[in-house]
Amino acid sequence: MSLSTQIMEDIKTAMRAKDTIALEALRAIKSELLLAQTATGSKEEITTADEIKLLQKLVKTRKDSAKIFTEQNRLDLAEPELAQIAVIEKFLPAQMSEAEVEAIIAKIIAETGASGIASMGKVMGIASAQLGGTAEGKIISTIVKKLLV
């Protein structure tokens, strides 16, 4: 089942259950998917990798909002954001642990023969391609820096 179809089914379920937080998150996902489809042209389908990037972007914006709301002592606004993150993350692949990411990056460094911080771009490109969707770019970057220094 495609992501769009799954989202539509979940929207129907959330409407029946009167779950406003889930409904808001699902509608945001649907909106982003529709925008992406029209931006790339209606002839092409969005790839799974593009869908994952869209979902990660939605999670990131909500995390940032929740952080700001929490810093401003607006827990009434932060809680719905955190609840929406949980809804969106159901559609994302499971995230790898830092130890798993570190093992894969160490293997990439060994294969490419990278040494020193000057090789970071090359390693990051390969690592991002291999780990796309299963690890955050920030974690990948931190581990690459740690292993190359």
User: Could you tell me which of 134, 42, 54 has the C-alpha nearest to residue 93?
Assistant: 134
Residue 25 has pLDDT above 90, yes or no: yes
The sign one gets for the Cα dihedral 122, 138, 102, 91 is: negative
Structure tokens at 61: 């914006």
Q: Give the contacts of 17 (CB within 8 A, at least 6 positions apart).
A: none
Is residue 91 within 8 A of residue 58, CB to CB? The reply is no
Give the three-state DSSP class for 135. Answer: strand
Which residue segments constitute the domains of the chain, with CATH numbers given? 3-89 (1.10.1510.10), 98-148 (1.10.10.410)
The pLDDT tens digits of the residues spanning 56-84 come to 999 999 999 999 999 999 999 999 999 99
Helices (H), the chain: 3-17, 20-39, 48-71, 75-89, 98-112, 120-131, 137-148
Distance in angstroms (rounded) separating the CA atoms of residues 62 and 129: 25
The pLDDT tens digits of the residues spanning 72-129 come to 999 999 999 999 999 999 998 888 888 888 899 889 888 888 788 888 888 888 888 8
Distance in angstroms (rounded) separating the CA atoms of residues 126 and 146: 16
